[in-house]
Amino acid sequence: MSTDSSTDEKTKVSHFIRNIVIADLSSGKHQSIKTRFPPEPNGYLHIGHAKAICLNFELAREFSGLTNLRFDDTNPAKEEEVYARAIEADIRWLGYQWDELCHASDYFERFYDYAVELITAGKAYVEELSADEMREYRGTLTEAGRPSPWRERPQEESLDLFARMRTGEFPDGAYVLRAKIDMASPNIKMRDPAIYRIRNIPHQRTGDAWHIYPMYDFAHCISDAIEGITHSLCTLEFEDHRPLYDWVLDNISIAAHPQQIEFARLNLDYTVMSKRRLKLLVDEGLVDGWDDPRMPTLAAMRRRGYPPQAIRNFAELIGVTKSESIIPLGVLENEVRNELNQTAPRAMGVLDPLKIVLLNFPEGETEWLEAARHPQDESMGKRKVPITREIYIERGDFMEEPVRKYFRLKPGGEVRLRNAFIIKFVELMKDENGEIVEIRCELDPQTRSGMPESNRRVKGTIHWVSAEHGVAAEVRLYDRLFNVENPLADKQRDFQEFINPDCLSKAQAIVEPSVFAGGENFQFERVGYFCFDSKDSTADKPVLNRTVSLRDSWAKRGQ
Ligand code: ATP
Ligand code: MG
């Protein structure tokens, strides 16, 4: 159910969940499928969520099914409406539109009724052991649990207490409702799990109506069943919750029984991916908000200039399996690069400007050169690039004492100015500190476009920007947020200690005016892909984010 059909034409890579869907449709188990994406609105979505979103929406799209967005809003202590709105925006940005927008909180009354059903059937009871005592009774992996003294409490008594828990008669923690399953089960999740707890706090959507809230394992399966979800896809850590998912649905009067299927979560290196930890980075001011372009959130990736298509391609590329792995961040960046290489118009920008004076170019004049917006895609047309007597080149594109095989500008040397002509070094000017402030060159008019030597070859081509027409802009260069592959590996230290001190650097660049003509992303030739920062950039003070470099410098560093 996507608004964008661009991935439709691709041949789908199959995976085990897709095979289950195909089998269920061909056996007639289901006439059509329905999936859901069930975020808890307690933070912003990250790239891990994108994997789950793409999986659910793409499956439904491929098999003409439906996908719900369901807010799993059963823990009011941590949830906020701003997060819910941000989640909706991120899913739309990724290119998906849900069929129904649902909230677990809309089902509170039904959850309650099903809990009453369980109590009435002798399959749930109100517990009054403390949390610590419950833990002690629960046993361990090698030792069976013991039944609570309240396990055989009469049903009428549990019903009465449960009704009073609901209306707020008791403090938090005084009672919980437990499913009565099997205290000796080898699966600890099945040892009479709590299904309701008292929380005397208002809910962002139901206000003061409730003083008890259902636990995930009780609410999730029932929500799936109520909505008629056929395949309930979740990450591997829910594998041992599955017997409980099935138990609840088998023991209440609901006909539907969705199938829970687990897949491996996405892990990326050099970052962390849990809303709780990301929130810590935001709350401690270690990053500039959830959408700080260094964050692994979708909001950050959007702000940084990642095209949503690149994220969808990445999700497709990494596939869906049952084995955990850590994907190098470079794999995602490569998808961003591949996508932008095809779609981003070209321009020139100089990040560390060094002034060049073209001695034989008339003072006060501007010549408008023509250049392709894209080297392969002619449909993008041409752009006008102004050149003047004074231009800027990258400081790194000149060497006074060149190393061997240095093909850019050097004393006595020649170099081609990209989209223009060849220039020849004449002299250099230094200030009192010995720093080069200006290089004087002559252009070779025979190498202008249309002139006999326009194709004359020199070994180096460099980018440049007219000093008069170039626009000053702040550029923000991002690197890995953490300087270790797994910031959580060292249990003795806080992951925040591993933040890469060089993850953000800023420069004052001079950029070609054509970048202000519209379009979201562009490539500064030889430099990288950039976009305007949606938060901080203004017409007077443009701010550019480097989306991704042209090449993977981490691969080169042998990381
Ligand atoms: P976090 O720990 O980051 O808060 P979560 O699983 O608690 O993640 P939810 O809002 O409950 O966050 O997740 C919504 C859906 O996204 C769930 O179905 C969950 O399995 C899936 N999901 C979360 N993280 C990942 C991940 N890294 N890879 C794939 N799917 C994920
Ligand atoms: Mg969670």
- Nearest bound ligand to the CA of residue 298: 1
* Ligand 1 center from residue 48 Cα (angstroms): 7
Q: 347: Cβ–Cβ under 8 A, 6 or more apart, which residues?
A: 383, 511, 512, 514, 515, 522, 523, 524, 525
Nearest atom in ligand 1 to 278's CA = 3
Strands 543-549 and 528-532: antiparallel
- Nearest bound ligand to the CA of residue 263: 1
- Look at the block and give the residue holding tokens 């828990």: 165
- Cβ distance 523 to 340 under 8 Å? yes
Nearest atom in ligand 1 to 52's CA = 30
| The pLDDT value given to residue 552 | 75
| The pLDDT value given to residue 208 | 96
Amino acid at 456: R
- Supply 95's token pair: 């290119």
| φ, ψ (nearest 5 deg) of residue 72 | -90, 75
Query: Other C-beta atoms within 10 Å of 194: how many?
Result: 16
Ligand 1 within 6 A of CB of 39: yes
- Look at the block and give the residue holding tokens 């443009």: 542
* Ligand 1 center from residue 235 Cα (angstroms): 7
Ligand 1 within 6 A of CB of 48: yes
Ligand 1 within 6 A of CB of 279: no
Residues with catalytic roles? 40, 265, 275
Angle at the Cα of 148 from the Cα atoms of 146 and 153, rounded to 5 degrees: 140
Ligand 1 within 6 A of CB of 277: no
For ligand 1, mutation pick of 17, 42, 49, 238 (most atoms within 8 Å of CB): 49
Order of strands, sheet of 414-417, starting from the edge strand that comes earlier in the sequence: 461-462, 414-417, 422-430, 436-443, 353-358, 390-394, 464-466
In sequence order, the β-bridge partners of residue 249 are: none
Regions of the chain where pLDDT drops below 50: 1-8, 556-559
- Cβ distance 460 to 416 under 8 Å? yes
Ligand 1 within 6 A of CB of 273: yes
Ligand 1 within 6 A of CB of 49: yes
* Ligand 2 center from residue 190 Cα (angstroms): 21
In sequence order, the β-bridge partners of residue 62 are: none
Task: In whole angstroms, give the CA distance from residue 93 to residue 522.
Answer: 19
Domains delineated in the chain: 108-217 (3.90.800.10), 269-306+316-338+465-559 (2.40.240.10), 353-463 (2.40.240.10)
Instruction: For ligand 1, atom 10, name the residue with the nearest CA.
Output: 39
Ligand 1 within 6 A of CB of 41: no
- Cβ distance 532 to 544 under 8 Å? yes
- Cβ distance 525 to 418 under 8 Å? yes
* Ligand 2 center from residue 54 Cα (angstroms): 19
* C-alpha closest to that of 354 among 436, 271, 248: 436
* Ligand 1 center from residue 418 Cα (angstroms): 47
- From residue 89, alpha-carbon distances to 84, 233, 327, 533 in Å are 9, 22, 26, 18
Ligand 1 within 6 A of CB of 52: yes
DSSP 440: E
Task: In whole angstroms, give the CA distance from residue 305 to residue 556.
Answer: 23
Ligand 1 within 6 A of CB of 34: no
CA Rg value for the chain: 31
Task: In whole angstroms, give the CA distance from residue 132 to residue 173.
Answer: 11
| The pLDDT value given to residue 10 | 59
At residue 37, the 3 state secondary structure works out as strand
Instruction: For ligand 1, atom 3, name the residue with the nearest CA.
Output: 274
- Nearest bound ligand to the CA of residue 276: 1
* Ligand 2 center from residue 360 Cα (angstroms): 66
| The pLDDT value given to residue 2 | 45
* C-alpha closest to that of 262 among 42, 55, 14, 69: 55
134, containing H or E segment: helix 131-138
Amino acid at 18: R
Q: 277: Cβ–Cβ under 8 A, 6 or more apart, which residues?
A: 495
Instruction: For ligand 1, atom 23, name the residue with the nearest CA.
Output: 49
* Ligand 2 center from residue 295 Cα (angstroms): 18
pTM to 2 decimals? 0.94
- Nearest bound ligand to the CA of residue 235: 1
How does pLDDT run across 8-30, given as a tens digit for each residue? 455 677 999 999 999 999 999 99
Task: In whole angstroms, give the CA distance from residue 290 to residue 298.
Answer: 9
Cβ-count burial 49-59 (b if 16+ within 10 Å, e if not): bbbbbbbbbbb
How does pLDDT run across 24-57, given as a tens digit for each residue? 999 999 999 999 999 999 999 999 999 999 999 9
